[in-house]
Amino acid sequence: MRNDWRARSHAGWWAFLVHRVSGILLTLFLPLHFLALGLALEGEAALDAALRWTEQPLVKAAEVVLVVLLAAHAAGGIRLLMLEFLPWREWHKTLLAVAGGVTLAVGVGFLLNLV
């Protein structure tokens, strides 16, 4: 059985990959998020220390990546729902472009608001 790499050059395959990888990375982020929320229960000093840590440039860059991952996962999920529940048409490549555009717009918007 030979591995056919031509299928992986299709835009739909890349959308599938982005959706799955973004979901996995968002899932890995959740424990860190819950840890940060748990610091609020330990008191104001612990939460303030965590908030000061988030002001580092590397953490700010990770925030942008996180927002882009969330936008990519949400836009990809909406695209899949549209493909599943709406009548099939030849605009599935347009949906890919819209999902990518929304992801890019959200990421750039967040980055510009962050600075």
> In 3D, which of 1, 10, 11, 3 has the Cα closest to residue 96?
11
* pLDDT given at position 113: 86
Domain that holds residue 39: 5-114
Q: DSSP code of 88?
A: P
How far, rounded to the nearest angstrom, does the alpha carbon of residue 19 sit from its chain's CA centroid? 8
Nearest to 66 by CA among 97, 32, 35, 37: 32
Q: Which amino acid is at 69?
A: L
Supply the CATH number for residue 22's domain: 1.20.1300.10
Q: How many distinct structural domains can be found in the chain?
A: 1
Which pTM does this prediction carry? 0.78
Spell out the per-residue pLDDT of the chain, length 115, in tens.
556 666 677 778 888 899 999 999 999 999 988 988 888 888 888 888 888 998 999 998 899 999 999 999 999 999 888 888 888 777 778 888 889 999 999 999 998 887 5
